[in-house]
Structure 1
């Protein structure tokens, strides 16, 4: 993706930056002139992605002990600054009704989707942003606005991330802006089990007539991260192809989740 946003000389950290939305964001930031560091769980993928971006990377569990501190130290050591933080890494597990959710799996969802972004913001704030300013963008989900079968842990954790975004925006102003994007259904590996069984059917139900691409979300992230959005903080930008404005949106969301449950059951998934 080419970009008109001038981010030359700024340093950016993108978690979960080796695939899907995170990869598109990292590529967009690099195209805009930023120095980019990516994280991911697969060391080989991190190395390949970082090399392709002309940047750096660190493999590991975003919620692991010391990971936030380690990647922040790496960015400061290599780039000398940390201006932009994109909290993209996430887990959509555990899948199932909350009445049956395992306590450890529930805690894992919040560790990855809520606590890790907070820790990274804390590290970025202490290491650079408190004195020099910066911009944070959290990747949430359109689904945090409604309920649906079997995605309660994911949706609840992402709803918490939305509130965390607003809370941090208030606490870190005026020097640091904190915003979020909420994608709808996007063509990523994490969402493959939703769109692959019946993409045409799903796309036909959206006002814009297609599911999203990672680049669609990346463009929104870059805009919020850049000075083009310099008077915006505490905002959540929907990037959902019109999902939320379609007729009977709540019923439509249930219909998609019900169809998804049928596909998973047929495949033998829990």
Structure 2
């Protein structure tokens, strides 16, 4: 979807999230920012988190005044998570949608050579961090996440579905996120729905190494003949978080332009 097409679509959106509050982690740019923009366009007040205050400030400046709040900090820091939820409780008194988008991949290469400390860090941020955000949203006494029929949408990856050379351990962590999604959905139903979106290559800074200088070649194996955009993933997340998906939980929606079915990988 082009940026203009995305804007045109948003101009015709209903307000499925009017009166609701959505928290999106890792939202200073890329997929997270795209999701925040889509949810806000559909009526939500959005809270954005990321590590760097400057980047978050630039992101929030792209929203209409008073519709977005930024809270900077490291996703795997318990004190940061507590600050986020306490601030949401104080300012809004509720939380309706939690999008866990933070993910890291600091290594590239074969599994047999991966630095084990780096592997532990990937699991800590991508898997344990995802679980921690959900735990704290559910347990916070002033957010009413369960009472509000809260919705969780996590960002997984097609790298968690098929072996993807060079980013295999990242894929392992995302396979865990997908299974975590299903397990949480079973435990938290019927009050809270939990789903995930598993993208293939999306044109963001995070994925630049996978397509920079060879985008046409990479996209050629996709039946859709193009790579994804943040807006593509935002649309999928908005659907899963909306009342249109009230009977959908424990699902991992593959958003990959058809590449996995066609025999490709991430």
Is the pair's TM-score, using the shorter chain for normalization, greater than 0.5? yes
The answer to whether structure 1 residue 61 and structure 2 residue 74 are counterparts is yes
2:61 matches 1:45: no
Map residues 239-258 of structure 1 onto 2, 5 A cutoff. Answer: 239-246=255-262, 249=263, 252-253=264-265
* 1:107 aligns with one of 102, 111, 120: 120
Q: Deviations over 1:99-137 (max 9, x none)?
A: 222222111101111111111101111122233321000
Q: Secondary structure at the match of 2:206?
A: coil
- Distance between the aligned counterparts of 2:188 and 2:131, measured in 1? 12
Q: Matches of 1:93 and 1:5 in 2, distance apart?
A: 38
Q: Deviations over 1:210-258 (max 9, x none)?
A: 1111100100000000001000000011110011121xx1xx43xx8xx
Aligned to 2:91: 78
The answer (yes or no) to whether the contact 1:5–1:222 under 8 Å persists in 2 is no
Q: Which structure 2 residue ranges, 5 or more long, are not aligned?
A: 1-6
Q: SS at the partner of 1:193?
A: helix
In the other structure, the counterpart of 1:14 is 24
Q: Could you tell me whether the CA contact under 8 Å between 2:159 and 2:168 is conserved in 1?
A: no
Contact 1:93–1:153 (Cα < 8 Å) also in 2: no
Q: How does 1:98-137 map to 2 (within 5 A)?
A: 98-127=111-140, 128-137=144-153
Does 2:199 align with 1:186?
no
Q: Cα RMSD over matched residues?
A: 1.3
Residue 198 of structure 2: SS of its match in structure 1?
strand
In structure 1, what is the Cα distance between the partners aligned to 2:110 and 2:220? 28
2:159 equivalent in structure 1: 143
1:22 Cα deviation (Å)?
Answer: 0.4
Give the TM-score normalised by structure 1: 0.89
User: Are the counterparts in 2 of residues 24 and 214 from structure 1 also a CA contact under 8 Å?
Assistant: yes
Contact persistence 1:69–1:120 (CA under 8 A): no
Show CA shifts across 1:125-174 (max 9, x none): 11222333210000000111111222121000000000000000001100
Q: Distance in 1 between matches of 2:20 and 2:216?
A: 40
- Structure with greater helix percent: 1
Matches of 1:5 and 1:150, distance apart in 2 = 41
Query: Secondary structure of the residue that 1:114 maps to in structure 2?
Result: helix
SS at the partner of 2:222? coil
Misfit runs of 4+, over 4 Å: none
**Which of 218, 229, 236 is the equivalent residue of 1:220?**
236
The 3-state SS of whatever aligns with 2:39 is: helix
- Alignment correspondent of 1:23: 33
Superposed displacement of residue 5, structure 1 = 4.7
